[in-house]
């Protein structure tokens, strides 16, 4: 008997682990653990928490529809796993690899427990589009890439030569254990609130919805993606990130649906950025502790509250933060504009903005969010140069000339003309020109300072 634990792979087809499990030809316990460490402090009611619950409910629905069993338990993954290993004749524990700091330390503890109890621990790469565990050998480099463009060149040729297509195993091919011991089910039962949330509107989320979104994107928007992706008022991007991050859809499915079609190259480049950040999380120790390697003492949280609540007096910033706070959505261009504005014009440490996005984005992903914030704040290995500072008013004018995005989210400004609507209001908290000049000075000196080894 095996134990398979779902994490960022909330789907029932095209999982690398499923291909492996099928080859074992044994029955197994399929498990999803709701980990209090990840759901405490209101996280489950945040936009990303609600997204996760929706995808998890959909996963349960998919298992039930296939006549299979998914057990959902609540507790520290190490304790839950240990209890299961002590109560069932499980010979190996199978998971997909995860590379965030929390996931690494959790899996280290899990692995130790599994080995202490004399069972096998199998961790299989699944999240990236390319096999990033095999990639370093293909590149022949002793050091991992630090810069996107050469990474992308090599990654593209790796995909061309060694792409490993979607798996063919589905949950229908596996034999799931119906009942687990009361010695585990009872102490690790779900709290009532989570159990009822998981019983919600399951069928409409997850793999079904993401496949529909992908299909519509391919038919209606892929061909013009390069030209329209930054037109943030229109919403012509795929909207797949919140499904890719929970694993409700695989990057492989997204890739295979678009392969070779007009417009696919630019879109594939975005999936390559996703892989680039996952790669950094895998191979660059500093990726998650970059704030400790630069002297950020010149930065302050003075204007953070105004930024976070959409009260800066810069219309596009306030409109964007309003959309984010209300819906959990924010187009990529506006993530860049708001992040640069916070870190550069307002001279605020990127970690505060990163944290605000963590609590508010529906598609929050620790690795991709960090990559975006490092890039915008000119920190990390392949970041925007310190003197690159987007002017929010110009960005708004360029990508939404008639101001329909601002009118949508800030209706009290809807009466302004197409020209006026982008301009800072009279009470704006900073002057764009002066704050830009100051930011260049401050970030020049941050960039010049030798990295302080923590
Ligand atoms: C400051 C900042 C924070 C961000 N935080 C997150 C986050 O927490 N979670 C998240 O999924 N994305 C994050 N991004 C990346 C990007 O903004 C979103 O992935 C994108 O807006 C999602 O919309 P979409 O699915 O319609 O993308 P599409 O344009 O359709 O792109 C397809 C897929 O490619 C990937 N992708 C696209 N742009 C990027 C990018 N710049 N970096 C990495 N991967 C990308 C995503 O998986 C996306 O779903 C962040 C970007 C910035 C600048």
Please name every residue paired with 27 in a beta bridge, in sequence order, or none if there are none.
175
At residue 373, does pLDDT exceed 50?
yes
Q: Per-residue pLDDT tens for 111-139? A: 999 999 999 999 999 999 999 999 999 99
Alpha-carbon distance values, 357 to 48, 157, 173, 362 (Å)? 10, 34, 39, 9
Q: Are 222 and 267 in contact (CB under 8 A)?
A: yes
Please name every residue paired with 64 in a beta bridge, in sequence order, or none if there are none.
none
**Does ligand 1 lie within 6 Å of residue 100's CB atom?**
no
Q: Which atom of ligand 1 is nearest to the CA of 353?
A: 1
Sorted by sequence, the CB contacts under 8 Å of residue 168 that are 6+ apart come out as: 19
Q: Per-residue pLDDT tens for 141-200? A: 999 999 999 999 999 999 999 999 999 999 999 999 999 999 999 999 999 989 998 886
Q: Which atom of ligand 1 is nearest to the CA of 238?
A: 30
pTM: predicted TM-score of the whole model, two decimal places: 0.97
Q: Which CATH number fits domain 290-448: 3.30.1330.10, 3.50.50.60, 1.10.10.10, 1.10.579.10?
A: 1.10.579.10
- Give, as one character, the DSSP assignment of residue 244: H
**Does ligand 1 lie within 6 Å of residue 240's CB atom?**
yes
pLDDT of residue 104: 97
| Ligand 1 centroid distance, CA of 22 (Å) | 33
Per-chain mean pLDDT for the chain: 95
Whole-number Å distance between alpha carbons of 24 and 248: 24
Q: Per-residue pLDDT tens for 38-65? A: 888 778 889 999 999 999 999 999 999 9
pLDDT of residue 199: 84
Domain 127-165+200-283 has CATH 3.30.365.10: no
Q: Per-residue pLDDT tens for 269-287? A: 999 999 999 999 999 999 9
Q: What percent of the chain is predicted at pLDDT more than 90?
A: 91
Whole-number Å distance between alpha carbons of 93 and 110: 9
- CA 215 from centre of chain: 21
At residue 32, does pLDDT exceed 70?
yes
* CATH class given for the domain over 1-126: alpha beta
Q: Which atom of ligand 1 is nearest to the CA of 242?
A: 11
At residue 454, does pLDDT exceed 70?
no
At residue 205, does pLDDT exceed 90?
no
**Does ligand 1 lie within 6 Å of residue 357's CB atom?**
yes
At residue 222, does pLDDT exceed 50?
yes
At residue 202, does pLDDT exceed 70?
no
**Residue limits of CATH 3.40.50.620 in the chain:** 1-126
Q: Per-residue pLDDT tens for 403-422? A: 999 999 999 999 999 999 99
- Residue closest by Cα to atom 47 of ligand 1: 241
């Amino acid at each position: 008997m095996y134990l398979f634990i779902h994490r960022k792979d909330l789907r029932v087809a095209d999982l690398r682990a499923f291909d492996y499990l099928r080859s074992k030809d044994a029955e197994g316990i399929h498990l999803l653990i709701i980990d209090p460490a990840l759901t405490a402090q209101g996280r489950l009611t945040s936009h990303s928490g609600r997204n996760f619950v929706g995808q998890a409910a959909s996963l349960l629905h998919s298992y039930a529809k296939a006549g299979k069993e998914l057990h959902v338990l609540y507790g520290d993954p190490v304790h839950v796993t240990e209890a299961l290993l002590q109560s069932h004749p499980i010979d190996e524990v199978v998971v997909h690899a995860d590379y965030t700091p929390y996931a690494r330390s959790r899996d280290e503890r899990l692995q130790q427990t599994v080995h202490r109890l004399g069972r096998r621990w199998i961790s299989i790469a699944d999240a990236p589009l390319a096999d990033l565990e095999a990639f370093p050998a293909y590149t022949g480099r002793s050091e991992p890439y630090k810069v996107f463009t050469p990474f992308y060149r090599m990654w593209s040729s790796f995909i061309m030569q060694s792409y490993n297509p979607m798996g063919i195993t589905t949950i229908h091919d596996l034999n799931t254990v119906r009942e687990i011991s009361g010695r585990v089910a009872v102490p690790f039962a779900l709290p009532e609130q989570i159990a009822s949330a998981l019983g919600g509107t399951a069928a409409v989320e997850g793999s079904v919805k993401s496949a529909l979104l992908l299909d519509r994107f391919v038919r209606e928007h892929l061909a013009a993606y390069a030209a329209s992706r930054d037109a943030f008022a229109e919403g012509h991007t795929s909207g797949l990130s919140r499904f890719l991050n929970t694993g409700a859809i695989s990057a492989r499915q997204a890739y295979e649906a678009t392969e070779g079609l007009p417009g696919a190259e630019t879109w594939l480049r975005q999936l390559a950025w996703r892989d680039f950040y996952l790669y950094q999380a895998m191979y660059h120790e500093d990726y998650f502790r970059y704030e400790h390697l630069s002297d950020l003492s010149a930065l302050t949280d003075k204007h953070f509250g105004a930024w976070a609540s959409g009260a800066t007096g810069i219309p596009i910033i306030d409109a964007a933060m309003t959309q984010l706070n209300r819906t959990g959505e924010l187009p990529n261009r506006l993530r860049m504009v708001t992040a640069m504005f916070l870190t550069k014009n307002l001279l605020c440490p990127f970690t505060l903005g990163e944290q605000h996005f963590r609590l508010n984005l529906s598609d929050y992903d620790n690795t991709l969010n960090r990559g975006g914030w490092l890039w915008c704040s000119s920190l990390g290995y392949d970041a925007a140069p310190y003197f690159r500072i987007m002017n929010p008013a110009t960005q708004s004018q360029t990508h939404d000339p008639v101001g329909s995005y601002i009118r949508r989210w800030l209706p009290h400004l809807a009466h302004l003309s197409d020209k006026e609507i982008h301009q800072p209001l009279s009470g704006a908290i900073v002057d764009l020109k002066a704050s830009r000049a100051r930011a260049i000075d401050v970030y020049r000196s941050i960039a010049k300072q030798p990295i302080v080894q923590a």
